[in-house]
Amino acid sequence: MFRFQEIYYLYALALVPLLIVLFIATLYWRTRRLKKMGDERLVGAQLLGFIPGRSTFKFVLVTLALSAIIIGWANLQAGDKVEKLERKGVDVVIALDVSKSMLAKDIQPDRLTRAKQLIMQMADKMHNDRVAFIVFAGRAYLQVPLTIDYSTLKMMVQNVSTKMVPTQGTVIGEAIDMAITSFSQTERKYKSLIIISDGEDHDEKAAQKIKEAADAGIIVHTVGIGSPQGTTLFDPETNSVKLDDKGSPVISKLNEDELKSLAAAGGGTYSLLLNSEDVANKLVSHLEGMEQKNLGSVVYTDFTSYFQYFLLAGFITLIIEWLLPGAKLKPKKNGSIA
């Protein structure tokens, strides 16, 4: 079985017919110019060093070299060994708070950036689990449904900002509700929800939604970001510290009690995000310790790459084209070739 590892690189082969069209157009233009000067063969014979067909041959060599390099770039591979493995894991929904309080800098560079780093590190450590991703502030939005495509998850996480949810607030309850609907409704285990937030703007519905999640067999872990002492918020619109209605600086504080309460009710753990690596290891360890379900079989194939042969052929062809003279060498005065 053959395949191209980076098949989309083959789109570059579209350059080949374009170059052929341009070359033919150039030959046509050259022929017309020669005809204006007289008989084409006679004029060509009078051109110093002219070799009929040499330019066409050199163009063919360049075209072949370019094609070989592009095919090598796409990396042609042949399958050598096929192995079927059973994949087991759990379903995980990560809910990230993107309210503007997450821009507070009581942890550097800011709460939201550190939260995104945590999710990226978790994605690097997870292997077989299916993962979904939710962002929430005054509303909750599903960004990635349950998937094993961690690269898609990481791409979405990288693009997260507080502007994604125009309605401000911290409606953890709505995020929990969306997570419940994201899981399979026929299973009462193999499910975990991870809420990452500063816990600000207490959500009265969160406690009830956590109970519903627990009844559905969902283990809820919470991660607190920020400091209990809090810090002022910077308002990018006014380019100054954010002020309340009374003109006093707004202080954003981590609400640990709220997040600890949610984790306890959800049968999970609470973690304060100080070291992203440690918290990622802790959460992944909890996921691995859960009862795993069969997520189907995965076929792994060992492939042998042949890109080096195409690249070598392409470079050798380019060298031959470069060494091949485009015209005859000038004759010396004594009649010999210089």
Q: Convert the pLDDT of each residue in 259-291 to its tens digit.
A: 999 999 999 999 999 999 999 999 999 999 998
- Residue range 123-128: average pLDDT? 91
User: What's the alpha-carbon Rg for the chain, to the nearest Å?
Assistant: 32
Q: Which amino acid is at 239?
A: N
**79 or 256, higher pLDDT:** 256
Look at strands 140-147 and 130-136 and give their pairing. antiparallel
Q: Among the listed ranges 102-106, 203-207, 281-285, 292-296, which one has the minimum average pLDDT value?
A: 292-296
Long-range contacts at 153-159 (CB < 8 A, ≥ 24 apart): 153/119, 153/123, 154/119, 154/120, 154/123, 157/96, 157/116, 157/119, 157/120, 157/123, 157/133, 158/116, 158/120
Confidence of residue 32 (pLDDT cuts 50, 70, 90): confident
Whether the predicted pLDDT of 70 surpasses 60: yes
The neighbouring-strand residues paired with 127 are none
pLDDT-based confidence at residue 336 (cuts at 50, 70, 90): very low
Q: Residues 309, 78: contact at Cβ < 8 Å?
A: no
**pLDDT computed for residue 220 by the predictor:** 97
Contact partners, residue 38, CB within 8 Å, separation at least 6: none
CA distance 140 to 237: 24
Q: What is the pLDDT of residue 331?
A: 52
User: What CATH class does 86-297 carry?
Assistant: alpha beta
Predicted local distance difference test score (pLDDT) of residue 47: 54
**Domain ranges (residues) in the chain:** 2-75+306-323, 86-297
**Residue range 170-188, pLDDT digits in tens:** 789 999 999 999 998 888 8
pLDDT for the residue 317: 95
Per residue in 230-260, pLDDT tens?
Answer: 888 877 677 778 777 777 788 889 999 999 9
Window from 33-37, 45-49, 218-222, 297-301 with minimum mean pLDDT: 45-49
pLDDT, position 338: 44
> What DSSP letter does each residue of 82-144 carry, written as one string?
EEEEEEEE-EEEEEEE-SGGGG--SSSS-HHHHHHHHHHHHHHH--S-EEEEEEESSSEEEEE
- Tell me the one-letter amino acid at 126: M
